[in-house]
Amino acid sequence: MGLSGSDKATYYFTSFYCFFLFRKMACFGIGNKTKGKCGEEEEKARREANKRIEKQLKKDKQQYYKSHMLLLLGDCDSGKSTIFNQMRLLDTELTAEEKLMQYMQHKKASGIFETYFRVGEYVFYLFNGRSGWRSIRRVFCDQSAYILVVDSSSYDMVCQGDNQTNQLQEALNNLENLWRRMRTMDRPVFLFLNKQDLLAEKVLAGKSKIEDYFPEFAHYTSHEHTTPVQGEDPSVTRAKYFIRDKFLKITASGDVDMHKCFPFFTCAIDLENIQRTFRDCGDKLNFCSS
Ligand SMILES: Nc1nc2c(ncn2[C@@H]2O[C@H](COP(=O)(O)OP(=O)(O)OP(=O)(O)O)[C@@H](O)[C@H]2O)c(=O)[nH]1
């Protein structure tokens, strides 16, 4: 996960080549003109140097697996920029190795690299697919995963483009397309069911009913293992899980072992919620690549 296959190969080839070259040099006494005078001490020093290199390689490998490139996708106004800007505030000091990796990614993505940040033990490189779905072609293959941001409160809204298509239905169609295109890729999709605060407000206000737009909602019962947030109104829980299940129905079709979809209930204006979500994404990515 993180880099493409060829990058991965280059990374390991370079690391291990340097390591073995160093070892070989040590064996032949290169860089060591006084060999023989205090042989044992030199041998000890060499062993220690080897140990240090091995330790560093192990550390690099761990860090490599904890760096993830993510591409934000989604319809207009779904909340991509809000999420992006929240995370930009978290820009942190990265180590030299992380900066090098960032440079490599930057070069590779030819100018559309946007920001990087650390959440817990993970470093994320986040691209904002602002210019819509077209931009994904350029970076499609480089990503660790895709984030599809959906405005969950848009069940009663129409797309700005044609003033006709239901916005939530459009998001469902987009996921269906993405899923079809990704059939041969082993990349997870993180589904950010965003604007949960607005969805809750709408449901509780009772003015705009979901069943008026999605009639099947009238017969929907939440799945057994839904976990309601403490103090959450049951009608809100039912609504959010109904929307989640509509998306998951799409991703449950086809070869589910090839790639996975992980849903999250998000509120982009709540930094804590977004940070927690990214930490969970990191855990899922590490789990998927282990
Ligand atoms: N209440 C609430 N507002 C949100 C949330 N996420 C985004 N918004 C607001 O929704 C509006 C649109 O959000 P953006 O982040 O600009 O959406 P976008 O997907 O980047 O839109 P484009 O740039 O048009 O593709 C902004 O006014 C945000 O403040 C949320 O979770 N809750």
Query: How far is the centre of ligand 1, averaged over its atoms, from the C-alpha of 77 (Å)?
Result: 5
Give the C-alpha separation, 166 to 110, whole Å. 35
Residue range 145-156, pLDDT digits in tens: 889 999 999 999
Residue range 114-128, pLDDT digits in tens: 677 778 878 787 777
| Residue set of the binding site for GTP | 194-197, 268
Give me the interface pTM, i.e. the ipTM: 0.98
Predicted pLDDT of residue 64: 58
Residue range 32-51, pLDDT digits in tens: 444 566 788 888 999 898 88
Measured in whole angstroms, the distance separating CA 131 from the mean position of its chain's CA atoms is: 19
pTM over cut 0.80: no
Query: Could you identify the atom of ligand 1 that is nearest to the CA of residue 267?
Result: 31
Give the C-alpha separation, 72 to 278, whole Å. 12
As to burial, measured by CB atoms within 10 angstroms (0-12 exposed, 13-18 middle, 19+ buried), residue 222 is middle
Contacts of 141 (CB under 8 A, 6+ apart): 4, 185
Query: How far is the centre of ligand 1, averaged over its atoms, from the C-alpha of 83 (Å)?
Result: 8
Q: What domains lie within the chain, and their CATH numbers?
A: 5-62 (no CATH), 67-289 (3.40.50.300)
DSSP states along 13-28? HHHHHHHHHHHHHHHT
